[in-house]
Amino acid sequence: MRSDPRKLSDLVSVGPAMLRDFEILGVRSVSQLARRNPERMYESLCRDAPQHQDICCLDVFCAAVAQANSLDSRTAANGGTLGCTYTEAQVEQALQVQSVTAGQPIAPVQDSTTGQWIIYEVTSQAVAPLSAASPLARRELLQSTANVNRVSREIVAFARTSDVSVDPQYGTWDRLTVVPPVAPPSRYLLGAVSGQAPLVARATAG
């Protein structure tokens, strides 16, 4: 592992708040940062930090890792390489486009948060299994209230037109909710609690 004389605080866009985040993640040097994946760092911070983390934090992680990985000392303070750490969906979201062409570099795009310029290139395309894609999809859908509301509307619309089966002992389905079953008379409940069979009056015709 090569030694890097720079401090984390020397990196562009890294201030006191980001230094605290690095401390939570166990990153204490530029050399350590160079070996980290910004996406994994953001996921770990969302899991371990006491407060909600804005998605802009991921942008700063990407910029910091790029600087830490730069092999050109003359440009290390202003750029570098992120490596192959993005999914195609993340690139499409960052660029706000529906699709990209594999193997074709995309013109530099300026990050609205950090002001840095980024060149994206999707090197390969593959369909990820649902088990791998669902955590990212869930996180992206919950990033904004608008997405939460949109998903909620879709679920409600689906529920209204779906055939839902409910075990009768738990109730019945009524469009959007489960209606609890009608409780038996109290005398049966008291008998069940006491462990005694309920008394039942019978009349015999003479």
Q: What is the pLDDT of residues 52-76, one digit of tens each?
A: 778 888 888 888 888 887 766 666 5
Residues 112, 32 share a domain: yes
Same domain, 135 and 104: no
Average pLDDT over residues 150-165: 78
Residue 206 lies in a domain: no
Same domain, 29 and 94: yes
Ranked by mean pLDDT, the top range of 43-47, 79-83, 107-111, 145-149 is: 43-47
Evaluate whether residue 198 is within a structural domain.
no
In 117-201, beta strands by DSSP E: 117-120, 172-174, 177-179
- Please check whether residues 61 and 156 belong to one and the same domain: no
| Coil vs helix vs strand at 118 | strand
Query: In this structure, is residue 24 part of a structural domain?
Result: yes
pLDDT recorded at residue 108: 76
- pLDDT(42) > 60: yes
Over range 97-115, report the average pLDDT: 73
Residues 169 and 105 in one domain: no
- pLDDT (0 to 100) of residue 1: 47
Handedness of CA 12, 18, 22, 23 (dihedral sign): positive
33 within domain boundaries: yes
Q: What is the pTM of this model?
A: 0.41
The reply to whether 2 falls in a domain is no
Provide the residue range defining the domain that includes 165.
Answer: 130-193
Domain termination residue (choose one: 94, 120, 146): 120
